[in-house]
Structure 1
Amino acid sequence: MLSLPPPPAGLGRRARNASVALGAAAVLLGTASPAGHAQDGGGDGGDGGGGDLEQTVAPEEDNIAGEAVLNVGHVDIGPRFVDGEWHIHGRDDSQSPPVWRPLTDVVTQVVDASQQQAPEDPDFGFLDAEPGSDLFVIPQTQAPEVIWLGWNTQDPEVMERVNRGVTLTMHGVEGPGHFAVFLQNGDLGAPDVLWDGDEEGPQELWVDLNTHTHANWVFTEPGVYVVDFEVSADLITGEHVSARAPLRFAVGEETDVREAFDAGGGGPAAEEEEPAQESSATGPPAEGPEGGDTEGGDTASDEEDASLNVVLIAVGAVALALLAAVVVVTARSRRARRIAAATDAADTGTGPGRSAS
């Protein structure tokens, strides 16, 4: 049964593929939870993992490397400049002060306490779930026992260097069930689907600078899910920057988080994301003679094989020509000997059909 709180005051605006920031009120799939809503802009204080979405991101917040399983508290996905380069990080404020973690180092665990029942409302048909069936939900409003996952564009250097806003793109998702992210206003409006795992192709979402937003992340089955995620923007200098990384989830407490870390390529020690300014798709490197990797090894080997084939064909053609010449010369030599023998016989009168006198 869908239960919705009254719409909060000062509700922010949101837009998909537009120049308006995201904002929405809470959606409750089943039981009640603390009131709260996504809103635009940052406030004067950090939210400390609570329901208040007003926060300020300090420029001195640390970047922390190393595996981390995040299953409680408040985490925002967002772009951040690290040593002048554009990256996707997760801002984890389960500790104080908050820290930023590379997305490649993180698995978001969705605990069993997140389970709710799929509503009967046909507006929720995009969830691909039978009404009353169990769903795993990271809610738009904070629940004390469940990770509270959102996104922000509040890194100080991002706000200083980016032109207007950023684009969040889901390129696809792998997992045992259906995945969707949506917002819902508190005025009984229909859910606003931001990302749907059934849709093909990139799904883009525009987010203004200095925005902090939370939404509903829904999984229909337990297991490992990997979202192919990208954050891109145009800088005030005219330069385009982008970074792409796997967003990994271990849904259900029986799901092995190690399996989630190993899914989707890369890993904690892998190079994070694509290059900030440009990227190129390449196949796996070939193994060199010493067992090392050599770029372009397959291409060089193919060229050598092709050259060898050309040489063998040329040698064969020459050999055939020589053989043909030998045959012709031999035939002519035999014919010449026959003609010479016939001439000698004619001179002596002992040719065929004649007898010596």
Structure 2
Amino acid sequence: MTSPTTRSRTAAACMAVLLAGLAIGAAPAALAGTEDDAGLEQTVEAGEEVVTEDAVVTDGHVDVGPRFLDDEWTMLARDDREVPSVWRDPARTVLHLGDAAVLPAPDGPDYEFLGVEPGTPLHVVPQTQTPDVVWLGWNTQDPRVVDSVEQGATLRLDGLDGPGELFVFLQEGVTGPPNVLWDSGEPLPQELWMEVNTHVHANWVFTEPGIYRLDVTTLADLADGTQAEDESTLVFAVGQDTDPAQALAAVAADTTSDTASDTADEQTADGAASSDASPAADPATEVTDAPEAGAPSSDSGGSAMLVWGAALAAVVLLLVVVGRVLRARRARDAADQATGDAS
């Protein structure tokens, strides 16, 4: 392979800086503690507050992960920008990537999976924290999750709505090959594994600006033998000029549509159940339904038959009378003719 151009060297250098320390990003929280992975040291406390208002995040630390709310396994987003940290609904939390998140695509065969030419601008949530860019990861550190999960949990990408492609990958060190976890160009769903009691960050790469909605599910086998599962949506406003308010409106419209559809389905199911549950009519006591307005009743139908019968009888009688008159006339004419011939 020929040597990269100056632009490609610059792109590779930028991405190398971006991807440095990725092995640390994937390390379990229990092993954190060196100078390099100090950014991953955190403690999730039981009972951390859950807030319900909409939020737009342009920088700072956010993790998605499971918690138990009212004994229900629930996917939330832990907003570490506040002290103490709070948890939010991911579908009401827009992650806005501005100009600081734009990086050129690196050169080399390891990055061919991105499907773009070296130097192409990409919108990147980096695995290592960068000023003025949101730092998105995931954790399985909620105390009840740690106590309840058998080995770990799965974060599954079920669908993506957006103008471009999404790639989520880890890389061990500057020179290690990327470990691609999600690639929206491949068949969905796609799963990534989250060890219990870990805190992980990866690279999230978007190829085009615009609004992206990721349908995701967190699921796990629990120690009591049951399976926990919850669906949610990750919302990104990618690009400096992409309006986060439009992203929130799009998710709200989808939610309204889904709610209306679910309500219609429930009403249809309830109607079917009601129909199925209706007792069979007893032939001995069955009552004939009243005729609809404007429809002839059985009595009026019988009267009509009588009228038609009378009319038909009258016609027959008339034909008989006419026949007799004609025969009498022919007989009279024949008699007159015979009298004339005799004289």
Which of 157, 160, 182 is equivalent to 1:170? 157
Which of 328, 332, 343 is equivalent to 1:350? 328
User: Which residue in the other structure is 1:41 paired with?
Assistant: 28
User: Which residue in the other structure is 1:99 paired with?
Assistant: 86
The amino acid across from 1:219 in the alignment is: F
Q: 1-side partners of 2:101 and 2:315: how far apart? A: 100
User: Which residue in the other structure is 1:191 paired with?
Assistant: 178
- Asked whether 1:338 is paired with 2:325, we answer no
The amino acid across from 2:15 in the alignment is: L
State the shift of 1:337 in Å.
Answer: 2.9
- Asked whether 1:211 is paired with 2:198, we answer yes
After superposition, the Cα gap between the structure-2 partners of 1:109 and 1:324, relative to the gap in structure 1 and judged at 3 Å, is same
State the shift of 1:295 in Å.
Answer: 4.5
3-state DSSP class of the match of 2:197?
A: coil
Q: What do residues 185-229 of structure 1 show as CA deviations (whole Å, max 9, x unaligned)?
A: 227343222111222331122222112111110011222111111
Q: 1-side partners of 2:172 and 2:299: how far apart? A: 83
The amino acid across from 1:337 in the alignment is: L
Q: 2-side partners of 1:4 and 1:248: how far apart? A: 27
State the shift of 1:93 in Å.
Answer: 1.3
State how 1:50-65 maps to structure 2 within 5 Å. Answer: 51-65=38-52
User: Which residue in the other structure is 2:69 paired with?
Assistant: 82
3-state DSSP class of the match of 1:350?
A: helix
- Asked whether 1:255 is paired with 2:242, we answer yes
3-state DSSP class of the match of 2:315?
A: helix
User: Which residue in the other structure is 1:29 paired with?
Assistant: 15
Does the Cα contact within 8 Å between 1:88 and 1:244 map onto a contact in 2? yes
User: Which residue in the other structure is 1:129 paired with?
Assistant: 116
State the shift of 1:129 in Å.
Answer: 2.0
After superposition, the Cα gap between the structure-2 partners of 1:35 and 1:198, relative to the gap in structure 1 and judged at 3 Å, is closer
Q: 1-side partners of 2:296 and 2:158: how far apart? A: 53
User: Which residue in the other structure is 2:133 paired with?
Assistant: 146
Does the Cα contact within 8 Å between 1:230 and 1:243 map onto a contact in 2? yes
Q: 1-side partners of 2:163 and 2:152: how far apart? A: 33
Gaps of 5+ in 1: 6-26, 272-279, 287-293, 304-309
User: Which residue in the other structure is 1:24 paired with?
Assistant: none
The amino acid across from 2:142 in the alignment is: D
Does the Cα contact within 8 Å between 1:128 and 1:178 map onto a contact in 2? no
Greater helix fraction, Structure 1 or Structure 2: 2
After superposition, the Cα gap between the structure-2 partners of 1:33 and 1:128, relative to the gap in structure 1 and judged at 3 Å, is closer
Does the Cα contact within 8 Å between 1:170 and 1:203 map onto a contact in 2? yes
State how 1:109-124 maps to structure 2 within 5 Å. Answer: 109-124=96-111
Does the Cα contact within 8 Å between 1:3 and 1:32 map onto a contact in 2? no
Q: 1-side partners of 2:92 and 2:201: how far apart? A: 21
User: Which residue in the other structure is 1:10 paired with?
Assistant: none
The amino acid across from 2:328 in the alignment is: T
Does the Cα contact within 8 Å between 1:39 and 1:53 map onto a contact in 2? no
My pick for the range that moved more, 155-164 or 333-342, is 333-342
Does the Cα contact within 8 Å between 1:44 and 1:55 map onto a contact in 2? no
3-state DSSP class of the match of 1:333?
A: helix
Report the aligned-residue RMSD: 4.1
Q: 2-side partners of 1:323 and 1:224: how far apart? A: 71
Number of corresponding residues = 307
State the shift of 1:325 in Å.
Answer: 7.4
The amino acid across from 1:333 in the alignment is: A
Does the Cα contact within 8 Å between 1:153 and 1:159 map onto a contact in 2? yes
Q: 1-side partners of 2:192 and 2:78: how far apart? A: 19
User: Which residue in the other structure is 1:16 paired with?
Assistant: none
Does the Cα contact within 8 Å between 1:2 and 1:29 map onto a contact in 2? no
Q: 2-side partners of 1:313 and 1:123: how far apart? A: 78
After superposition, the Cα gap between the structure-2 partners of 1:322 and 1:28, relative to the gap in structure 1 and judged at 3 Å, is farther
State the shift of 1:174 in Å.
Answer: 1.4
3-state DSSP class of the match of 2:25?
A: coil
State the shift of 1:81 in Å.
Answer: 0.9
Q: 1-side partners of 2:14 and 2:160: how far apart? A: 24
The amino acid across from 1:128 in the alignment is: G
- Asked whether 1:66 is paired with 2:53, we answer yes
Q: What do residues 46-91 of structure 1 show as CA deviations (whole Å, max 9, x unaligned)?
A: 99xx853233211132212212211222111001111212211111
Gaps of 5+ in 2: 1-7, 276-290, 337-343
State the shift of 1:326 in Å.
Answer: 5.2
Does the Cα contact within 8 Å between 1:108 and 1:250 map onto a contact in 2? yes
User: So what's the TM-score if we normalise by structure 2?
Assistant: 0.74
